[in-house]
Amino acid sequence: MNRGELLKIRAEIANSARQIALEGDVEPADKLEILMSLIASGDSSAEVLHRVYDTAKLLPDDTDRLSALLDIMYEVDKMLSSQPGDDSEAHLSESESRVNEDHSN
């Protein structure tokens, strides 16, 4: 198989996994894992990011929920730092400020 064929198959697989994760009847922990894999593989659509965040909030265990939220924040920070002209430390500071504001409410 050549590169083009492999990329086409990869895109089909990613679309199938995305559809199942977004629309399928999947347990939150499994859905979270699938969505995080999609994000890590380059699917940074707003729909996937919002869904992974919503799914993380459904996890019943505080430790698992915290870990998932931090993983999501890490992926978002990576996306922000890869954008030209952006200061990644500023984004991290903004995230920390929001977390601190949320805890003070």
**How far is residue 73's CA from residue 53's CA, in Å, rounded to a whole number?**
9
Which pLDDT tens digit goes with each residue over 24-45? 898 999 999 999 999 998 888 8
Nearest to 49 by CA among 59, 39, 58, 64: 39
27 in helix, strand or coil?
Answer: coil
Q: What is the pLDDT of residues 76-98, one digit of tens each?
A: 999 999 888 755 455 555 555 55
Distance CA 55, CA 27 (A): 9
| Amino acid in the structure at residue 31 | K
**Is pTM beyond 0.85 here?**
no
Burial of 14 (0-12, 13-18, 19+ CB in 10 A): middle
